[in-house]
Amino acid sequence: MAGKTSNKSAEAAKPTLLAGGNPQIAKGYGDAPVQAYIAAMPGWKSDVGRRLDALITRTVPGVNKAVKWNSPFYGIEGPEGQGSWFLSYHCFTKYIKVAFFRGTSLRPVPPGQSKQKEVRYLDIHEDDQLDEAQFADWVKQASLLPGERM
For the chain, give the number of residues: 150
Cβ–Cβ < 8 Å for 64, 82: no
Backbone angles phi, psi at 96, to 5 degrees: -110, 130
Q: Which residue has the higher pLDDT, 33 or 14?
A: 33
One DSSP character per residue, 120-145 reads EEEEEETT----HHHHHHHHHHHHHS
The answer to whether residue 2 sits within a structural domain is no
The CB density around residue 98, as the number of other CB atoms within 10 Å, is 24
The answer to whether residue 67 sits within a structural domain is yes
The answer to whether residue 9 sits within a structural domain is no
Q: How confident is the model at residue 8 (pLDDT cuts 50, 70, 90)?
A: very low
Question: Does 1 have pLDDT greater than 90?
Answer: no
Count of domains for the chain: 1
**pLDDT tens digits along 64-96:** 999 999 999 999 876 555 568 999 999 999 999
Backbone angles phi, psi at 79, to 5 degrees: -65, 145
Q: ∠ at Cα 130 (49, 24), nearest 5°?
A: 20
> Domain with 124 in it: what CATH number?
3.90.1150
**pLDDT tens digits along 128-138:** 999 999 999 99
CA distances from 64 to 15, 43, 138, 147 (A): 23, 26, 17, 12
The answer to whether residue 77 sits within a structural domain is yes
The end-to-end CA distance of the chain, in Å, is 42
Range of the domain at 52: 17-144
The structure's pTM equals 0.85
**pLDDT tens digits along 16-28:** 888 778 899 889 9
